[in-house]
Amino acid sequence: MISTVYLHPDRTLRATWSVDADNITLTSFDDNAMLEQSVGESFGDGLMNDTSNAAHTNGASAITTVVLHTSQVYFHRYPVDADEDHNRRRFFEIITCLPPLAPEDRIIEVPMPGELHGSAWHGLLVIPQTHVPDGYAIDDVRVDILEDIRAARIADLLADEGITLLVGQRGDVWWCAVLDTSGTIQHLVQTPVHPAFETSVEIRDLVLEVSGSTKSRAERVIVFGDSLTKAILDDVTIALDGLTTSVVRMQPFRTLRADVDAATQQRCVRLAHMLGPLVGPLPCASLQES
């Protein structure tokens, strides 16, 4: 068994999973969990003997992947030129556009080969060591937006042809990931939320901006986020009429099994739009990594 924990500011979300070959089954879900529960447990034999990404507390070990909320990380993107020295440009961007970083902080590289405004771009996601829970290795901690993207791939939600846009709110920012049919990131956009505007208007404007700057039409828009409701999804569907072929809500559990009671299943369905970070870290052998 394995455990995934999402440290959302409003609630700690935790799921445990049974893994048999490429069959993954949800065995428990807690939307008001305690992180220390996952740190202190040992799940016994089998898969759990691999402690390469385990947390260690009082001699106990467990494979527990922790995912941080966007509010706990930094993101910066910049255009790149094939002729420039990438390492020198990266160093310049880090020292001039990010807060002072500690040597222990982790930088995740996010290549963006798809052109936006006529250029390829590069992204940097920074996990500060100070935001990593005690007992966890920083190299094993994930970032929610990257796990949302992987969850969409696991759930087979991507358009069969063309571009998919994964659009959603995390905290006070909007994310828009431009994905090809394999789920590879072509571009990743982060922009502030404007409380004065309706959600459907903000999403429509974001889709228009990204589609225009990438010179591509979104075949599918997957909507996710902290505050998504059915009413908002309906408004977004209307707002995007003519701009995309289909609009769907994030359903990360779509291709997975569940061995939980009916009430737990209902909670998972109700909160599905914000649970991608619990599914993204799962070890799906059939998923081709990019």
Region of poorest pLDDT, from 45-59, 101-115, 130-144: 45-59
Residue 57 pLDDT greater than 70, yes or no: no
Q: Give the end of a domain, one of 231, 249, 267.
A: 249
Number of domains in the chain: 2
SS3 289: coil
Model's pTM, two decimal places? 0.88
| Assigned domain for 40 exists | no
Question: Confidence class of residue 35 from pLDDT cuts 50, 70 and 90?
Answer: confident
The pLDDT of residue 55 is: 36
If we measure between CA atoms, which residue out of 216, 114, 228, 230 comes closest to residue 159? 216
| Assigned domain for 92 exists | yes
| Assigned domain for 16 exists | no
> Do 109 and 163 lie in a common domain?
no
Task: Calculate what percentage of the chain has a pLDDT beyond 70.
Answer: 88
**Bigger pLDDT: 212 vs 51:** 212
Render pLDDT for 263-290 as a digit per residue (tens, 0 to 9). 999 999 999 999 999 999 998 755 655 4
CB of 172 closer than 8 Å to CB of 193 = yes
If we measure between CA atoms, which residue out of 235, 230, 243, 244 comes closest to residue 273? 230
Domain that holds residue 78: 74-127
Tell me the β-bridge partners of 246: 220
Q: What is the mean pLDDT of residues 32-60?
A: 40
The pLDDT of residue 270 is: 93
Q: What is the DSSP letter of 197?
A: S
Question: Confidence class of residue 213 from pLDDT cuts 50, 70 and 90?
Answer: very high
> Do 114 and 177 lie in a common domain?
no
- CB under 8 Å, gap of 24 or more: what pairs does 111-115 form? 111/185, 112/77, 112/185, 112/186, 112/187, 112/188, 113/186, 114/178, 114/180, 114/186, 114/187, 114/214, 115/214, 115/215
Query: Average pLDDT over the chain, rounded to whole?
Result: 88
The structure tokens 């556009």 sit at: 97
Beta strands 2-7; 60-68: pairing state: parallel
Render pLDDT for 155-203 as a digit per residue (tens, 0 to 9). 999 999 999 999 999 999 999 999 999 999 999 999 999 989 999 999 9
Q: What is the DSSP letter of 275?
A: -
> Do 119 and 164 lie in a common domain?
no
Tell whether the torsion through CA atoms of 166, 169, 171 and 176 is positive or negative.
positive
**Bigger pLDDT: 62 vs 245:** 245
If we measure between CA atoms, which residue out of 213, 147, 215 comes closest to residue 185? 147
> Do 166 and 213 lie in a common domain?
yes
